[in-house]
Amino acid sequence: MKTTEATTISAGMGAGSARMRVLERSSWFAALPPALKREMMERAVVRRCAARSLIYAAGAAPSGLYAVLSGEVRLEHSARSGKFAFYQGLRAGDFFGLLSELDQSPRFSDARAWTETTVLQLPHAEFQSLYRTSAPAREAFVALICENLHTTLGILVEEHSAPPRSQIAHILLTLSNQEPDESREQLKLTHEAIAAMAGVSRQTTSKILHEFRQLGLIAMQYGQLSVLDTARLRAIAEAA
């Protein structure tokens, strides 16, 4: 198992302005008090991770709160049945790893750098110190876990009620993270990964992706996928 080959540097505030702008893509982080943002940055480290390396493994002890600065992180889980699920893709500005820090439970999933990736890590000891000594930090972390819970519940509802066509459209929109005026972004996704996220067969997934390509909504080439028409894809996702 390939673990993270990380180059660690202090996050600090010297190069912090660019990193701060990335982190403020998260509405949660953007709304934090300025003093708490500064303290988190001062306590954090930056890790540069090789493509396909593990940031942490399922079953591991808590190692801190993370945020993606660049690249992509995928959360992967293998059920007791042996079935593999890639259930969340994280891009710049997304935070992960909070649950285990709050309840001290082992990691639920693998967190894997899918491409060359840079993450900000608030290490375990620093997180716990901040959580114990700062009331604003405690309130902020509880707010984030509540936000994550609402998002998870929303995904579960979608999975149980939306038809596969709408589910796959929603997955593509979420992973591409595009606004209408943004440039097209290449996604490195296999049909198997999309099928695992949607909870449908690979055959169904391939049929729907072929339809989307025929309609001019996406382009697929050499294991890469681009969203071409965000508005029409969103209409399909919301049609459920």
Three-state DSSP string of 143-212: HHHHHHHHHHHHHHHHHHHCCHHHHHHHHHHHHHCCCCCCCCCEEECCHHHHHHHHCCCHHHHHHHHHHH
Strand partners of residue 77: 85
Mean pLDDT of 166-195: 70
Weakest mean pLDDT among 69-73, 99-103, 154-158, 226-230: 154-158
Instruction: Assess whether pLDDT exceeds 90 at residue 97.
Output: yes
The amino acid at residue 21 is R
| DSSP state, residue 238 | T
In this prediction, residue 9 has a pLDDT band, given cuts at 50, 70 and 90, of low
In this prediction, residue 21 has a pLDDT band, given cuts at 50, 70 and 90, of very high
Determine the pLDDT at residue 162: 78
User: Could you tell me whether strands 224-227 and 218-221 are parallel, antiparallel, or unpaired per DSSP bridges?
Assistant: antiparallel
In this prediction, residue 151 has a pLDDT band, given cuts at 50, 70 and 90, of confident
Residues 6+ away with beta carbon under 8 Å from 54: 1, 2, 3, 4, 110, 111, 112, 113
In this prediction, residue 183 has a pLDDT band, given cuts at 50, 70 and 90, of very low
Instruction: Assess whether pLDDT exceeds 80 at residue 105.
Output: yes
In this prediction, residue 210 has a pLDDT band, given cuts at 50, 70 and 90, of very high
The C-alpha atoms of residue 116 and residue 48 are separated, in whole angstroms, by 7
The model's pLDDT over 42-59, given as tens digits with 9 standing for 90+, comes to: 999 999 999 999 999 999
* Backbone region of residue 7 per phi and psi (left: phi > 0; alpha: psi in -120 to 50; beta: other values): beta
The C-alpha atoms of residue 221 and residue 219 are separated, in whole angstroms, by 7
The C-alpha atoms of residue 188 and residue 223 are separated, in whole angstroms, by 6
Give the residue, 188 or 42, on which the prediction is more confident: 42
The C-alpha atoms of residue 211 and residue 45 are separated, in whole angstroms, by 44
**Average pLDDT over the chain, rounded to an integer:** 84
The C-alpha atoms of residue 51 and residue 166 are separated, in whole angstroms, by 30
Give the residue, 9 or 153, on which the prediction is more confident: 153
Mean pLDDT of 119-138: 96
Q: pLDDT above 90 covers what percent of the chain?
A: 53
Give the residue, 172 or 208, on which the prediction is more confident: 208
Contact 155, 98 (CB under 8 A): no
Determine the pLDDT at residue 70: 95
The C-alpha atoms of residue 190 and residue 187 are separated, in whole angstroms, by 9
Give the residue, 129 or 4, on which the prediction is more confident: 129
What's the angle, vertex CA 123, arms to CA 87 and CA 98, rounded to 5? 35
